[in-house]
Structure 1
Amino acid sequence: MRKLNSLPKFVTLLIGTIVIFVVWVTSVNAQVQLTERSKLALNGIGPIRVGMTVDEASQSAGVRLVKTQSGGEEYGCFYFKPQVEPKAISLMVTKGRIARVDINNERITTIKGAKIGDTEEQIFSLYPGQIQATPHPYVSRPPRNGKYLTFVPKDAADKNYRIIFETSGNRVTRFRSGQLPEVEYIEGCL
């Protein structure tokens, strides 16, 4: 009789362990895949980090990355993007490694929640005391009065990284993050 009573406890424990394992594997896989829910950080997006090779980034993100025309090939600067989804994300590669991430996708946000369409005031409030505003090199005249809003981290470990929000008419039109000096290149690889 005692063995019959302990069998259901063992089966229950085993089933519980299997369920926990499946939930854990599913959540880990969901975090690894690059999607529109992935957040832009100073040093990458979702599972992709500045400093990775294209192959490492592709494996880490679970997406195939394909080369696009950059105009800077002769200088060793290339752009890659996800073959299918998510759209409007570009990865700048210099010296064989990812140096910056460009975002033109309205659904993707930074870790703090900044996104395309936000006002300049929203960016200043999300990053208090850490935004440097400079005139946009191409959109700085009225009525658009565009700016570069550059997030400068306070942490010494992040001193070589930036997030740059480009604005026009007081609204974010695109943004990017990555390492210096590449993140500050105005025309990408050119």
Structure 2
Amino acid sequence: MNSKIKIFTIATISFAASVFTIGTVTAQTKLTSQSKVTINGIGAVKVGMTISQAAKAAGTKLVSDAPNQYCYYVKPQQEPKNIAFMVTGNRISRIDVKNPQVTTLKGAKIGDTEARIKSLYPGQIKVTSHKYDFKGHYLTLIPKDRADRNYRVVFETDGKRVTRFRSGKLPEVEFVEGCS
């Protein structure tokens, strides 16, 4: 009789652990201001996804003000604010971040100094002049991993601090004027 109780107890613990794991995975897939930007996405939304795949991964509807067939942006209908996804060829090609709460995996964010970005990614930052702000720069993260060679993260600065950033695939991630 004791062995039946032990088996039942083990089964209950195993079941409870499985439920907890499923709940944790579900909670992490919804796009929030705490979702982390990577070289090829944000949270569960990845470059290369269709809009419907990205919306499902984000856990929210993605809307556009003016879609066209070549290049346009979609954004989460509600939260997080100040995040936009560039769409080219009917797929997500880049993520634009203007939300100061959103960070990269290493913690880079809007408001960081140029020195901090360089320290977070030693030997991987290419600095170029900003096209419109004569004091500003583009700090472009060039990945070391060969598998990521077609992706970048571009931090725009005012010459001192990050004002916005974007991640995605080449060549779209380097389009200074977005879809314009």
Which category describes the TM-score, using the shorter chain as reference length? over 0.9
TM-score for the superposition, normalised by structure 1: 0.90
Aligned residues: 180
Match of 2:169 in 1: 179
Q: Does 1:119 align with 2:113?
A: yes
Q: Does 1:34 align with 2:31?
A: yes
The share of aligned pairs that are identical, in percent, is 53
Supply the AA of the counterpart residue of 1:82: P
TM-score for the superposition, normalised by structure 2: 0.95
For structure 2, the 5+ residue unaligned runs are none
Supply the AA of the counterpart residue of 1:49: K
Give matches, 1:41-56, under 5 Å: 41-56=38-53
Matched residue SS, 1:80: strand
Match of 2:156 in 1: 166
| 1:68 and 1:81 in contact (8 A); partners too | no
| 1:54 and 1:97 in contact (8 A); partners too | yes
CA RMSD of aligned residues (A): 1.3
Bigger radius of gyration, 1 or 2?
1
Aligned-residue offset at 1:9: 1.7
Aligned-residue offset at 1:24: 0.5
Superposed structure 1 runs of 4+ greater than 2 Å apart:
5-8
For structure 1, the 5+ residue unaligned runs are none
Residues in 2 aligned to 1:157 and 1:60: alpha-carbon distance in whole angstroms = 23
